[in-house]
Amino acid sequence: MEIISSENKESITYHKSIDQITDEFNTKQEEGLSESEAKKRLDDYGPNQLKQESAISPWEILVEQFKNIIVILLIIASGISFVIGDVLEGVAVLAVIIINAIFGFFTEYKAEKSVQALKEMVTTKAKVIRDGSLTEVDADKIVPGDLLVLDEGDKVTADGRLIKADNLAIAEAVLTGEAEPVDKNTDTLKKEDIPLAERSNMVFMGSSVTRGNGVAVVTGTATDTQMGQISDMLHETESEATPLEERLDKMGKSLIVVTLVIAAIVSVVGIFIGREVMEMIETGVALAIAAVPEGLPAVATITLAIGMKKMAQYNALVKRLPAVETLGSTTVICTDKTGTLTENQMTLKEIYLGQDEDVVEITGTGYKPEGEFKIGEETINPQENEKLSLILKGGTLCSNAVVKEEDSLWNVVGDPTEGALVTAAQKAGFDREEMQHEGGYEKLEEIPFTSDAKYMAVSYQTPEEKELVVAKGAPSVIIDMCDQISTQGDVKSLAESTKENLREKNEAMAQKGLRVLALAYQKSEEQNSPLESSVKSGLIFLGFVGMVDPPRPDVKEAITEASRAGVKTVMITGDQRDTAQAIGRKVGIADKNKGAVTGEEIEGLSLANLIQKIKNNSIFSRVSPENKLDIIKALNEEDEITAMTGDGVNDAPALKRANIGVAMGQRGTAVAREASDMILLDDNFATIVKAVRQGRVIFDNIQKFIYYLFSCNLSEILLIFLGIILQVPIPLLTLQILWLNLVTDVFPALTLAWEPPEEEVMEQPPRNPTQGILTADFKKRIGLHALIVSLGPLLVYLYALNIELPLATSRTMSFVTLAFVQLFHVFDARREEGLGFDKTMFENIYLWGAIVITISLQLVAVYLPFFQPILNTVPLPWNLWMIVLSGSIIPIIIIQLSKLIFAK
Q: Which residues are catalytic?
A: 336
Q: Are 541 and 503 in contact (CB under 8 A)?
A: no
Q: Are 333 and 568 in contact (CB under 8 A)?
A: yes
Angle at the Cα of 692 from the Cα atoms of 686 and 696, rounded to 5 degrees: 155
Q: Which residues pair with 597 in a beta bridge?
A: 620
Give which of 753, 743, 755 is closest to 851, Cα–Cα.
743
Within 155-276, residue ranges assigned H as helices are 173-176, 226-236, 243-272
Determine what percent of the chain falls in helix, strand and coil, rounding each to the nearest 5: 50, 15, 30
Give which of 179, 228, 237 is closest to 10, Cα–Cα.
228
Give which of 59, 628, 64 is closest to 322, Cα–Cα.
64
CA 55 remoteness from chain centre = 19
Within 428-572, residue ranges assigned H as helices are 432-437, 475-481, 496-511, 531-535, 555-564
Rounded Cα distance between 338 and 579, Å, is 11
CA torsion 524-530-535-539 (nearest 10°) is -10
Residues contacting residue 823 through CB under 8 Å, at least 6 positions apart: 744, 748, 851, 854, 855, 858, 888
Q: Which helix (H) or strand (E) segment is 694 a member of?
A: helix 685-725
Evaluate the CA torsion angle 214, 219, 224, 226 in order and state its sign.
Answer: negative
- Parallel/antiparallel/unpaired status of strands 442-447 and 409-413: unpaired
Rounded Cα distance between 499 and 354, Å, is 11
Give which of 458, 460, 505 is closest to 479, Cα–Cα.
505
Q: Are 670 and 653 in contact (CB under 8 A)?
A: no
* Three-state SS at 129: strand
Q: How far is residue 78 from each of residues 92, 282, 871, measured CA to CA in Å?
A: 8, 12, 17
Q: Are 482 and 541 in contact (CB under 8 A)?
A: yes
For residue 190, the tally of other CB atoms under 10 A from its CB is 8
What φ, ψ does residue 591 adopt, rounded to 5°?
Answer: -75, 145
